Structure 1
Amino acid sequence: MKYLITSLALVAVTPALADPVTVQSCDREVTFDAPPQAAVSNDINLTEMMLALELTDHMVGFTGINGWNKIDEEMRAGIGALPELAEKYPSKEVLLGAGADFYFAGWNYGMRVGGEVTPETLKPFGIQVYELTESCIHIMDKPEASMDDMYNDLLNLGAIFGVPDRAQALVDGYRADLDAVLADLPPLDRAPRVFVYDSGEDTPFTAGRYAMPNALIEAAGGTNIMKDFEKSWGTVNWEPVIERNPEVIVIVDYGEVTAEQKRAFMMGTPAFADLDAVKNDRFVVLDYVEATPGPRNIRAVRKLAEGFRAE
């Protein structure tokens, strides 16, 4: 970054990218002539990607965290003085009012299909959008979720903001960390059957083949019993959960119902008494920010891998 000394202030001048950068964002190609200077990220996991890449000086704020989650001390230190512009999904007016030139969001991570805020509705106002890879299933066909979804987003953000080497080093480090997690643990005799319990008592909200927990479970050596559920996140009936008899239950911890309350519901419901996971009290708790695509996915795999191997 170059600086110009003026009689009034020290002014930062960000050069254009050496060449225009084009990245794939779901079913669109998006071209950037220069790094965005007024970016907004939505949701806690997407914001952590921006923080991991040290991009706060390119941001004017974030959205969609405190309406569902709480910012922990680890994240608060990285956010610094950045404001939360909306506690839940931002309106178009919120983004325009912040002077945003870039919005990092996803489908059901700050945007809804046919909603007010989409790449198409923001384009006339000069706001470019990059979409979270995992979320692309809501508008196009894609393979099941994998760790590469998260790596892809970091590499694309690195290209967009002119820090490709920083992004590559981060991804290489995550890959090495993931290899180390599995190398440090004994091999499994077989893949344990795993159910992801997000929320809901009458019917459970869970992770299908296109949601990040499916990738985390497989990376840790398990099998998601709802892998044939052709969605990312969605509601199923309890009957197939009982029939498939999970050996481990992964609880996603966020919102007003605590992880302990979710565990107590599973443990105390007679219909679940014969589930192996309930009989053996085998639960693994993942924070929302660990269960959704982002830098804490490696930590999540370690938790799962250790939980799968626990007696």
Structure 2
Amino acid sequence: MKKQIFAALAALALTFAAQQGAGASDAAPVTVDNYGRKVTVTETPQRVLTLGPNCTELFIALGLGDKIAGNTLDNHSRGPLPEYAAEYARVPELNYGSATREAALTSGADFVFGIDWEFGGGGLDIAELEANGMNVLVERASSFDEAYDEIRSLGKIFKIEARAEEFIKEQERRMKAVADKIKGREPLRVLVYDSGSSGVFTCSGENFESLLIERAGGENVFGGLTGKQWVTVSYEEAVAREPQVIVIHDYDSPSVEAKIAEIKANSALSQLECVKNERFVTIALESVLPGSRMAYAVERFAAGFYPEIFADE
């Protein structure tokens, strides 16, 4: 009987030691590289600000929606994808537009994951957020490798590394399925039309959207431009590139309908065959940002570029 009691106590001691060891491991500091910034997290964050709808959806996709304490930039959103809608609806809104300094500093958050345009240049100051107890991970990927590195960093920080890898593999699987269907096709020349006034506000080759277009069987006609992600080109320059299809960003204002009307009324753009034939592909702005919708964007682009291939999907 004594031997049995001793064995039971020993087993309990081993279990307790194992649990303590696991807890110590979970509490061990995690350091990730964020474009040259070392971000060290000593405890798994519990209250997170996701600055940008793409960042919010990514957290939900990774099973971290319950940790979101506030989000921003819903003014640049056309609403979450159906699979994320229910959980997205429960996310508190920090700001409808860009984050304000006061809202961020009084949020009680211990971690911030946000798109790069929310920081600096009149936006939030990373050093100030860190001084107020918030670790900051900036989303600014300009390649798939960088986007996947960001996701893997979140996996390490929130102890969901397997889930992060699973998400990456699923994105790659879906994009490969598109590539298999369009194999052998000559890339279509694509003009991205975000907005227009004194010219076409479009994306350069440094913009992540160019990579999504490429994966979908297109080629950004201004993909050769570098230096910054967004550029304004003249209407004449756009026409000279002879685009075969125009991608139009959908967000709050101006509406897609207004943009199409602008294009048709423009004396230069209206001469394009793709305008005459209404070869327009619309997509929500958050869909062309790195995050949860990479495969979705490629699928949507491909369906618009090659409707004869994807007509039944």
TM-score of the two chains, using structure 2 as the length reference: 0.84
After superposition, residues 62-73 of structure 1 pair within 5 angstroms as 62-65=71-74, 67-72=75-80
Q: Give the letter for the 1:224 counterpart.
A: N
Shift of 1:179: 0.8
Identity level (%) = 33
Contact 1:101 1:128 in 2 (8 A): yes
Q: 2:288 aligns to what?
A: 291
SS in 2 for 1:156: helix
The 1-side partners of 2:91 and 2:113 are apart by 15
Question: Does the CA contact (< 8 Å) of 1:45 and 1:292 recur in 2?
Answer: yes
Please tell me the root mean square deviation across aligned C-alpha atoms, in Å: 2.0
Distance change in 2, residues 1:165/1:189 (3 Å): closer
Instruction: Provide the C-alpha distance between the structure 1 equivalents of 2:94 and 2:25, rounded to a whole number of angstroms.
Output: 27
Residue 147 of structure 1 pairs with residue 155 of structure 2: no
CA contact (8 A) 1:111 1:118 kept: yes
Change (3 A) 1:73 1:208: closer
Q: Deviation string for 1:220-254 (max 9, x for gaps)?
A: 12111111222212322222111111111101111
Look up the SS of the partner of 1:83 in the other structure: coil
Contact 1:16 1:34 in 2 (8 A): no
**Counterpart in the other structure of 1:111:** 119
Q: Which amino acid aligns with 1:119?
A: I
Q: CA deviation at 1:56?
A: 2.1
The gaps in structure 2 that reach 5 residues or longer are 1-22, 309-313
Query: Whose radius of gyration is greater, 1 or 2?
Result: 2
Which one is further off, 70-79 or 293-302? 70-79
Q: Does 1:23 align with 2:56?
A: no
Range 168-177 or range 204-213, more displaced: 204-213
- Bigger helix share: 2
Tell me the TM-score normalized by structure 1.
0.84
**Aligned 8 A contact 2:185 2:217 in 1:** no
The residue correspondences of 1:111-130 to structure 2 (distance < 5 A) are 111-113=119-121, 115=122, 117-130=124-137
Alignment length (residue pairs): 284
CA positional deviation for 1:274: 2.9
User: Alpha-carbon deviation of 1:30?
Assistant: 0.9
Gaps of 5+ in 1: 1-13, 135-144
Stretch moving more, 164-173 or 289-298: 289-298
Task: Quickly say closer, same or farther: Cα 1:16–1:122, change in 2 above 3 A.
Answer: farther
Does residue 240 in structure 1 map to residue 237 in structure 2? yes
